[in-house]
Amino acid sequence: MPLTSPWSILLLESDYLKHTLTPKKVICATTQDNREKGNKLSENSSAHMRPHKAGEGIFSAISVGTVFILIGVVYVATLPASLWDEVVAFFGSFSSVQVPGTGIYLSAPAVPAAYTVLYNAVFQFCLGLGILQVILLALRLAWHSPIGRTAETVGHLVFWLGASYLVFTFLNSATTLETWFAFWAAILVTLGVSMIARALVLFAKK
Q: Is the C-alpha dihedral spanning 120, 121, 122, 128 positive or negative?
A: positive
- Chain centre to alpha carbon of residue 33: 39
pLDDT over 70 (residue 106)? yes
How many angstroms separate the CA atoms of 172 and 117, rounded? Answer: 9
- The pLDDT assigned to 11 comes to 47
Scored b (16 or more CB within 10 A) or e, 59-72 reads beeebeebeeebee
pLDDT in tens, 63-81: 999 999 999 999 999 888 8
Q: Quickly state the pLDDT bin for 147 (edges 50, 70, 90).
A: very high
- The pLDDT assigned to 103 comes to 87
pLDDT over 90 (residue 131)? yes
Inter-CA distances, 166 with 36, 67, 134, 172, Å: 58, 20, 18, 11
How many angstroms separate the CA atoms of 198 and 206, rounded? Answer: 13
Question: Which of 40-54, 63-77, 112-126, 175-189 is least confident?
Answer: 40-54
pLDDT in tens, 1-53: 444 455 454 444 455 445 554 454 444 545 555 565 555 554 544 444 555 66
Q: Rounded to two decimals, what is the model's pTM?
A: 0.73
Q: Quickly state the pLDDT bin for 57 (edges 50, 70, 90).
A: confident
* Domain boundaries, given as residue ranges, for the chain: 61-204
How many angstroms separate the CA atoms of 113 and 173, rounded? Answer: 5
How many angstroms separate the CA atoms of 132 and 156, rounded? Answer: 10
Inter-CA distances, 46 with 30, 34, 51, 171, Å: 24, 18, 10, 50
Q: Quickly state the pLDDT bin for 82 (edges 50, 70, 90).
A: confident
Q: What average pLDDT does the chain have?
A: 82
